[in-house]
Structure 1
């Protein structure tokens, strides 16, 4: 290869392993010269990766799958040899919506079924009063945020396509959209939920780890053809990301990692907000209420970096459930083939499944257990769905 690698990213804490790999010198130690390019929208990142302006990218896991299937855009097969984050999203609501939900709460407010039922009652009241539907922001049609919002709402019978409005907003624009009243709530990755709380304009209703205990979020994505031509570069990138993730996960390194990520050309928010995120200790309301979770965001621990094809199958199942594509065995194989534990293992020297901690999206709060061998049965169990015929 000639010249530096150009890698695109969105200012989110789950880009941490990539940013720290470059800024702490882990990529340089692997003989790589890397230019990180900050972008605003996922469509920009996807398009620049697809046409070769980026060699690699911090990318929404479902976008990598959609690109490989040719859904919503041109078909460009993507390989994901490293998982940049497990979990990390949250649902944040405006103070008026929070008050309305709390009025309807019957049970534990941290139980997503309880809040989903409260939402269904709020939606029904608004409809009866002739009010506009609630508007929820999410980051992209092919996004975990979209599927996680839908999964949560639909569990209590709220139809995300009929009863509320879902709109696409780039992550950095979520807070302003909530402040201006353009949206009533949003689902986004850190740090933007915390920023809304700190400004006094939002309450974090749920960590998405309440909804799915273990859900693949972002991947290090490369074009499949590029990966085939540059296997040594891919392996070096993976090794650098693994070392960076290990660095970040050591509590004694959190302050330094947060300072790196806080830089204006990286995430560009206060380091203390990023530290809270990495430690899983978040302020969830403007009054200072704290909530702690060891599962809020996994960067490297618990095998988070190793891609799990079962996670890709779950994401593909959501695309089918919500009418973005039809169910097909060939498409399922393609989707699962995007997540490349083989490339990860080759890079770090693992063989077979010696350290395979896969097992898909453990712990969905509702619905049946997930079996990628029986997607038809899984999908048939949901009452609220919009599958293509």
Structure 2
């Protein structure tokens, strides 16, 4: 591909965490979609969401593959120093797995058959089974990991526990771990389960360290899981670059959806050492939509405040506990589709 447009900032760095839903930036780089927009993009692999957040806020990254709730948490100043942050594009929907160790999941019904659309029947069965085991066994509370306090994984883990009548603040121990450390920590017995994005849940199951007992897609069907995050200041300074980024990522999504061969090629790119390396060796291809995880890496990339309602409710509850509230206008500003719509209009012109 050859460059077709000119951006106001040609060289930039995007941060990512090694997860399958970092696919679109990786495809855009390896497949030439960034180059076609006149962009020279370096992808910086980060070890933890807090590190990625701080680098974006400090201007060390131009943009990032981000947890969907994190731009709002940054804008509100409840995750690090206050920094108005925007989410102009959805990078992936669904994709989270809830995994329990062999000790806790042995004999537990697995979510092989999908629950009806919008139903939490399958997660409720495993949650209630987990609650029975927890109260029967006694001893220290099981330790469950999630990736960041302001993440869909955290909120979905809490909602799954609530389906079993489990008090997440008193009956279990919740800890934060970076996604790449989950499977190893489970195998070593340092945690009893986790909620994480792919491929780490399926990897833990493939290696025999645990079993998938529920998915985020069953709890929140088609929820935005990861977004492109940029600071509002950066977006204001570099509107043409932002538009070029959105065009390149949308082009990567269209390419991925075009054929099974493209999904296999994308898997090979993700398997390169700078990206996910051996963490995807158990996958033959990127297979969007596979049950029960139903991860979507293409399709509807348009952000909206309405789609963020499940995670916004959790943030609002936390703010109200401190005497505040989540203003609807703040949510709308953070997940506004204005940049996406303007870029789409440019493409149609």
TM-score (normalizing by structure 2): 0.89
SS at match of 1:183: coil
Question: What does residue 71 of structure 2 align with?
Answer: 64
CA–CA distance in structure 2, aligned partners of residues 183 and 164 of structure 1: 11
Deviations 1:190-245 (A, max 9, x none): 11112111211111111211111121111100000110111111111001000111
Flag the 1:307–1:191 CA change in 2: closer, same or farther, 3 A.
same
Flag the 1:72–1:325 CA change in 2: closer, same or farther, 3 A.
farther
Does the alignment pair 1:29 with 2:29?
A: no
Does the alignment pair 1:269 with 2:278?
A: yes
SS at match of 1:92: strand
Question: What does residue 311 of structure 2 align with?
Answer: 315
Flag the 1:190–1:277 CA change in 2: closer, same or farther, 3 A.
farther
Flag the 1:213–1:350 CA change in 2: closer, same or farther, 3 A.
farther
CA–CA distance in structure 2, aligned partners of residues 216 and 275 of structure 1: 25
SS at match of 2:282: helix
CA–CA distance in structure 1, aligned partners of residues 333 and 323 of structure 2: 16
Deviations 1:65-87 (A, max 9, x none): 10010003100000111100110
Does the alignment pair 1:85 with 2:92?
A: yes
Question: What does residue 195 of structure 1 align with?
Answer: 203
CA–CA distance in structure 1, aligned partners of residues 346 and 169 of structure 2: 44
SS at match of 1:297: coil
**What is the aligned counterpart of 1:259 among 256, 268, 276?**
268
SS at match of 1:265: coil
CA contact (8 A) 1:190 1:277 kept: no
Question: What does residue 338 of structure 1 align with?
Answer: 334
CA–CA distance in structure 1, aligned partners of residues 323 and 22 of structure 2: 31
In the alignment, structure 1 segments of 5+ residues that lack a partner are 282-291, 352-389
- Matches for 1:1-389 after TM superposition, within 5 Å: 1=8, 4-99=11-106, 101=108, 111-127=122-138, 131-250=139-258, 251-269=260-278, 271=280, 273-281=282-290, 292-293=291-292, 296-301=294-299, 303=300, 305-322=301-318, 326=322, 331-349=327-345
Flag the 1:124–1:195 CA change in 2: closer, same or farther, 3 A.
same
TM-score (normalizing by structure 1): 0.80
CA contact (8 A) 1:68 1:335 kept: no
In the TM superposition, residue 112 of structure 1 has moved relative to its aligned partner by 1.0
SS at match of 1:273: coil
In the TM superposition, residue 14 of structure 1 has moved relative to its aligned partner by 0.3
Flag the 1:275–1:220 CA change in 2: closer, same or farther, 3 A.
farther
In the alignment, structure 2 segments of 5+ residues that lack a partner are 1-7
CA–CA distance in structure 1, aligned partners of residues 147 and 331 of structure 2: 21
Question: What does residue 4 of structure 2 align with?
Answer: none
CA–CA distance in structure 1, aligned partners of residues 194 and 244 of structure 2: 36
In the TM superposition, residue 320 of structure 1 has moved relative to its aligned partner by 3.0
CA–CA distance in structure 2, aligned partners of residues 349 and 148 of structure 1: 35
